[in-house]
Structure 1
């Protein structure tokens, strides 16, 4: 941004220090002169000849050169001392400015790490370091996400091209059309999931009062046929739990959690339990399911985009690998937290914690 040239902050502070010192000296000298002239009795000062000075004008005339000399000294001392003090005071800003230039050049790993005790400059430096850390993490996540998304989108497109090449030579293409329809539907689902993830990250939604228990019931009713097909029993419990957020996005969160709990479950007699609970400051939605034994390391990676784990391979209705990533993004956009914990007997427990509605 182009700006008109002006004085530096250091020079402005120097002039301010010097000006304040000179003005203070003038006021002090004026007070001394007023006291000598108006409050002391006449004839109290001896002249060089031994006579008492009675004329106040002669007193001012003899005192003026001394005042001028003192003020000149204060001006020079104020400029030199002010320049030095301003440089010392603004030294942390130089480090912050250099760090900003380094970050603007593309290096987000640089940190200010300002030493010393806490003050305004240290708070600014620490806040800037925290911002750089978050930006570095966010950029790394975006790069990893872009690479994974490109890979996931390339797969259905490559399959589609192969099927179309086969269809050119095969007149009986009913089966190929079905497979193309399946691949195309999967690509559409992936694209819609990416758009939903982007919408949640941008927080471009209207907030309203939402009861998580009702949202859980709605998601359960929607996914009940899928649960019956997989032989999974769904149990719901809990009280009214009001949060503030987007009803559609919070429904998406619950639907994704219940869908994952159904799909990644035991082959027979699996269960899914949904609990909504309310507290004084937060409300929680917990979805837990039976299933295979999971390690803590594996669970910690499940919220990454397109991450299904070593044993959580693609199946029918398994989604596009963005279910928990979308849940994490929506929860974060609602100023909440997402916690994943492996169950001792196998399966997963997922807890969404959101601020309670006032």
Structure 2
């Protein structure tokens, strides 16, 4: 933003210090003058050889003589205060604004893209050091966010490039082989295109959750859990997974659409990533004065804490990113994490001792 040049803050503070000091000096001199006028008569007469002082009319103009002596010295004092105020104010302002200079330098470095720089202002806590610490925290979060976005963009580009490359290959083969069965080609193109559409919709949903651009409304997680379980029951039966729901009324506030997507992703994840035969998944809700809790558990292979800690990252899948027919696009838990953060909640993932995963979502109470 272009601005017209003006006085520096240091010069403004210097002039303020000098002006205040001169004002205080002028008031002090005025008080001294008023005090002198109160006890000094306008005129007086001195009788030779006598210590007594009389006060006849028109003898000796003492007040005019006092003003003649006091005024030059008062001017010298004011001139000294002006010089002292300017020099002292300039030095004091420079010392006080030194931390602000470091903050400004760090801000300019950040504006040029250098987010790794930190101010780390030494000294005891005051307003400027609180500002510097807040700026360091902002830079740290911004650097982490930018790194996450760059990693996400790279992964998204890689994931989107795969279906596009497959489509290009299928079209090249069909163009070179005119006798190829078009039915099989169309079926494969449809599957690849469907996967690309699912990935794009997941990216848009993730972006919407990150931006928190939604209206808040009262939502009951228990009803959403029952709805998601009923919708995904055919998928559970196909995978030979017993799906159970239980729990109490769990009122909260937020986006019903996003919370419904959160529930669908969790239940879908519990069904797909399960045992090959005779698996089970449990969905439960509860409420307490601190908030509402949603718990989704499923049987499955044993997972390490290191692997579980990476599952909320975009495009991360269990079992070394193995792709299956229902493997999804690798954004299920990433969307869940973004939705939870957008609703100011907490998401906890933990491996079950017997195998499988336990996911706990805690959201604010809807009665707040």
TM range (shorter): over 0.9
TM-score, normalization by structure 2 = 0.92
Output the CA distance in 1 between the equivalents of 2:2 and 2:308.
Answer: 51
Task: Find the residue that maps to 1:255 and give its secondary structure.
Answer: helix
CA shift digits 1:87-113 (9 cap, x unpaired):
011001111111011111111100011
- Contact persistence 1:200–1:333 (CA under 8 A): yes
- Contact persistence 1:257–1:324 (CA under 8 A): yes
2:85 alignment partner in structure 1: 78
After superposition, residues 214-253 of structure 1 pair within 5 angstroms as 214-253=223-262
Q: Which structure has the larger Rg?
A: 2
Output the CA distance in 1 between the equivalents of 2:43 and 2:349.
Answer: 90
Output the CA distance in 1 between the equivalents of 2:318 and 2:238.
Answer: 24
- Contact persistence 2:43–2:63 (CA under 8 A): no
- Contact persistence 1:264–1:312 (CA under 8 A): no
Among 270, 281, 290, the residue aligned to 2:299:
290
1:339 alignment partner in structure 2: 348
Output the CA distance in 1 between the equivalents of 2:331 and 2:245.
Answer: 24
The number of residues matched between the two structures is 356
Output the CA distance in 1 between the equivalents of 2:45 and 2:349.
Answer: 93
After superposition, residues 1-358 of structure 1 pair within 5 angstroms as 1-38=1-38, 40=39, 42=41, 55-168=62-175, 169=177, 170-357=179-366, 358=368
Gaps of 5+ in 2: 54-59
Output the CA distance in 1 between the equivalents of 2:90 and 2:22.
Answer: 15
Output the CA distance in 2 between the equivalents of 1:54 and 1:209.
Answer: 90
Task: Find the residue that maps to 1:234 and give its secondary structure.
Answer: strand
The Cα shift of 1:262 comes to 0.5
The Cα shift of 1:291 comes to 0.8
Output the CA distance in 1 between the equivalents of 2:249 and 2:230.
Answer: 18
Output the CA distance in 1 between the equivalents of 2:124 and 2:304.
Answer: 43
The Cα shift of 1:54 comes to 6.8
Task: Find the residue that maps to 1:7 and give its secondary structure.
Answer: coil
Gaps of 5+ in 1: none
- Contact persistence 2:42–2:63 (CA under 8 A): no
Output the CA distance in 1 between the equivalents of 2:163 and 2:149.
Answer: 22
TM-score, normalization by structure 1 = 0.95
Output the CA distance in 1 between the equivalents of 2:52 and 2:116.
Answer: 79
Output the CA distance in 2 between the equivalents of 1:155 and 1:57.
Answer: 100
- Contact persistence 2:40–2:63 (CA under 8 A): no
Output the CA distance in 2 between the equivalents of 1:287 and 1:251.
Answer: 14
Task: Find the residue that maps to 2:281 and give its secondary structure.
Answer: strand
Over 3 Å counting, the alpha-carbon distance change for 1:87 and 1:45 in structure 2 is farther
Output the CA distance in 1 between the equivalents of 2:28 and 2:284.
Answer: 76
- Contact persistence 1:272–1:289 (CA under 8 A): yes
Output the CA distance in 2 between the equivalents of 1:86 and 1:254.
Answer: 58
The Cα shift of 1:210 comes to 1.0
Output the CA distance in 1 between the equivalents of 2:319 and 2:260.
Answer: 28
CA shift digits 1:314-342 (9 cap, x unpaired):
11122110001111111111122211111
